[in-house]
Chains A and B, each alone.
Chain A
Amino acid sequence: MNQSPNLNSFREGPDEEGRFGIFGGRFVAETLMPLILDLQEKWNAAKTDPAFQAELQNLNTHYTGRPSPLYFAERLTEELGGAKIYFKRDELNHTGSHKINNCLGQILLAKRMGKTRIIAETGAGQHGVASATVAARFGLPCVVYMGATDVERQAPNVFRMKLLGAEVKPVTAGHGTLKDAMNEALRDWVTNVDDTYYMIGTAAGPHPYPEMVREFQSVIGKEAKEQILAAEGRLPDLIVAAVGGGSNAIGLFHPFLDDKGVKIVGVEAGGKGLDGEEHCASLTAGSPGVLHGNRTYLLQDGDGQIKEGHSISAGLDYPGIGPEHSWLKDMGRVEYVPIMDEEALAAFQLLTRVEGIIPALEPSHALAEVVKRAPKMGKDEIVVMNLCGRGDKDIFTVGKILGMEL
């Protein structure tokens, strides 16, 4: 499945049809196709329009609080006794995660397209909150589809969305998680094509979403690159991020893809272990298939039916992955590894105690991988990890597992 290893760059995809090698594409119903083509046209115009970029940058600076800091985690570095660990602190963004980067970009586009209603899907609720936030900021009604299981385990975010004026629609189909929420959002979109903009939360779905979301999230990697050069005078040896759908990861990774000396690791949710069914490691344990508008690695059975994933973290609980990650895996540029629920939980507690930062369960997976690797690296080596979300939303889940009364 590997393509030519003699590529000049890993940063040139997708092609005009939205393909990264065999991955990506536009696998959508005909009703949506004219919209997808219109979106692509408007996106192509916007991305090279200085006025659009200036408006987005202004919001990033004054609304979100960018650039987010690159923080040297001194105590954690000492604790692990190896490489110097830096966190890209996107958990300090307005709304508490990297999701706002994408939502601001997309709502500016929705406005340009004359759309008057926003729909979104959400897993952990971070994208739902970010969508509800920008919808409130721009005065548009917003409907968020959320799996019923997730509505229960992410109650604080459900409340936040409602406060922000969004309508949260629980989805009971399937296991009631992110996959089912995305199906339902697509059904809404196909029914309300005229006025509705579908704000996809991750770098997946039909072209141009994977490219567009990546571009909005690449601000993470661009800043991190400048910041680490300023702090250390050189690029890091290793960059690490968690992958669910993969938007925070592609945002950090993309600006570094052509820097050969930088090793890149994406961390999937290994759930309760890859031997059973209860995990979300689509890249490590899945195979290529077609779902939600793109070809990508999926968890599926021999008949092409999609499996339900499992993760302690609702944000990683998705049986697919953005198509660019699938391509980067097959090209061998990025290494993807699983981290189990328990390892993520231990990392969550470690960071809380050692650095005074409560991370979300999603980046806790990335952190668990850093905990494994950093001690084996030299003290002169540098790791940058994307701390893509804060853990306030997860304290009830963690409390329950640790047997604490809240």
Chain B
Amino acid sequence: MTARMDKRFADLAAQGRPALVTYFMAGDPDYASSLEIMTALPKAGADVIELGMPFSDPMADGPAIQMAGQRALKGGQTLAKTLQMARDFRRTDDATPIVLMGYYNPIYIYGVDRFLDDAISAGIDGLIVVDLPPEMDDELCLPAVAKGVNFIRLATPTTDDKRLPTVLRNTSGFVYYVSMNGITGSALPDPSLISGAVGRIKAHTRLPVCVGFGVKTAEHARAIGASADGVVVGTAIVNQIASSLTEDGKASAATVAGVETLVMSLASGVRAARLAAAE
């Protein structure tokens, strides 16, 4: 729902700090551990959750998220189970916005109308579908917006001023600025370039602008958060999960705890962002 997302960003703006947006792959490495991770995220300081929907062919993702998706699929994760995970999460948390992130085909096969109805009833607030550019808005974006689900678009360095209005049209919730041309998990570019890009997007929209791709540490989060309304961390969390697994790929005692520690550290970064900027 759009209300939960808008309230979260309004509250954070009032507090004068950027949002920490955390991504992980639903079902990695198994449903129960993954739900435990999801539940732990807000407590560790995450403000918005991006719930990855595994897909066999993630064309815009680097090796870390590819492998997370493969682990999840191997563990039996499906789109229906990902929606169920959101539903389970909502039993204890009704405030943290959830954005589903992934690729179109599983949604198309599930059926767009049925998917949107089930997503709304599961408490989903927004969608990021990597392979649906504005040119394909009829597929899912317009039906989602009509039903009150945020459709969050990615803007990239290749999205020039001429194209930005096209990308921003029908976008709601926030704008996700991908800080480099490339796949997830690449190196972080120069923060000064990022603040320029955030300013460029903000000249075109009043929506919050969150920045992702390459954020790995509290220091990165602090630097990016100085100009952005939100900092997205994905690959670092997914890597943390991967490094905690046993040799046969099962969750260990360190799986959830490791994510908690990382997210707490990132949360301290975003909380220090504006203090640092003001100095």
Contact = CB atoms under 8 A, between A and B. Distances in A.
Interface of A: 17, 25-35, 173-174, 179, 183, 186-187, 190-194, 289-293, 295, 298, 300, 302-306
B246 interface: no
A351 B172 CA distance: 61
B160 A289 contact: no
A17 B153 CA distance: 20
A296 to B, nearest CB: 11
Contacts of A192: 181
Given A26-B136, A187-B60, A191-B183, A35 B158 contact: yes
B182 interface: yes
Contacts of B181: 31, 190-194
A253 B80 CA distance: 41
15 contacts: A26-B136, A27-B136, A29-B59, A30-B156, A33-B134, A33-B135, A190-B182, A191-B183, A289-B105, A290-B104, A293-B131, A295-B108, A300-B109, A303-B109, A304-B109
Which of A29, A183, A193 is packed against the most chain B CB atoms within 10 Å?
Answer: A29
Contact of B109 (A30, A33, A34, A302): A302
Given A28-B133, A173-B66, A174-B57, 19 more contacts: A26-B136, A27-B104, A27-B133, A27-B136, A29-B60, A29-B130, A29-B133, A29-B154, A30-B133, A31-B181, A33-B134, A186-B60, A191-B183, A192-B181, A194-B181, A289-B108, A290-B108, A293-B131, A295-B108
A14 to B, nearest CB: 13
B263 interface: no
Contacts of A29: 59-60, 130-131, 133, 154, 156
Ranked 4 nearest A-B pairs via Cβ: A304-B109, A304-B106, A191-B182, A305-B56
Contacts of B103: 290
B257 interface: no
Contact of A306 (B56, B66, B160, B178): B56
B79 A303 contact: yes
Contacts of A31: 60, 154, 156-158, 178, 181-182
Interface string B59-94: 111100010000001000011100000000000000
B73 to A, nearest CB: 6
A200 to B, nearest CB: 13
Nearest to A192: B181
Interface in B160-184: 160, 163, 167, 178, 181-183
Contacts of B105: 289-291, 298, 300, 304, 306
A304 B110 contact: yes
Interface in B180-224: 181-183, 186
The SS class assigned to the B binding surface is: loop
A25 B80 CA distance: 26
Interface residues of B, number: 43
B131 A28 contact: yes
Interface of B: 55-62, 66, 73, 78-80, 103-110, 130-136, 153-160, 163, 167, 178, 181-183, 186
Given A191-B182, A289-B109, A306-B105, A186 B59 contact: yes
Nearest to B78: A303
A192 B131 CA distance: 18
A302 B110 CA distance: 8
Contacts of A305: 55-56, 73, 106
B113 to A, nearest CB: 15
Contacts of B136: 25-27
B77 to A, nearest CB: 9
A75 to B, nearest CB: 45
Contacts of B167: 30
Contacts of A17: 135
A305 B110 CA distance: 11
A2 to B, nearest CB: 19
A238 B1 CA distance: 56
Q: Which of B59, B78, B103, B163 has the largest number of chain A CB atoms within 10 A?
A: B59
A291 B57 contact: yes
Name which of A27, A302, A306 has the most chain B CB atoms within 10 A of its CB. A27
Given A31-B178, A34-B158, A190-B182, A179 B60 contact: no
Contacts of A306: 56-57, 105
Contact of B108 (A293, A302, A304): A304
A179 B80 CA distance: 25
A217 B245 CA distance: 50
B133 A33 contact: yes
Contacts of B131: 27-29, 290, 293
Nearest to A18: B135
Contacts of B130: 29
Nearest to B60: A29
Nearest to A306: B56
A173 B62 CA distance: 11
A33 B182 CA distance: 13
A194 B56 CA distance: 28
B159 A304 contact: no
Contacts of A179: 57
Given A291-B57, A300-B109, A303-B78, A190 B133 contact: no
Contacts of B155: 30
A285 to B, nearest CB: 16
B108 A30 contact: no
A304 B107 contact: yes
A164 B150 CA distance: 50
A304 B79 contact: yes
B74 to A, nearest CB: 11
A18 B220 CA distance: 41
Contact of A27 (B62, B132, B154, B183): B132
Nearest to A194: B181
Contacts of A293: 131
B92 to A, nearest CB: 27
Nearest to B80: A303
B148 to A, nearest CB: 23
Given A191-B186, A291-B57, A34 B163 contact: yes
Contacts of B106: 303-305
A185 to B, nearest CB: 9
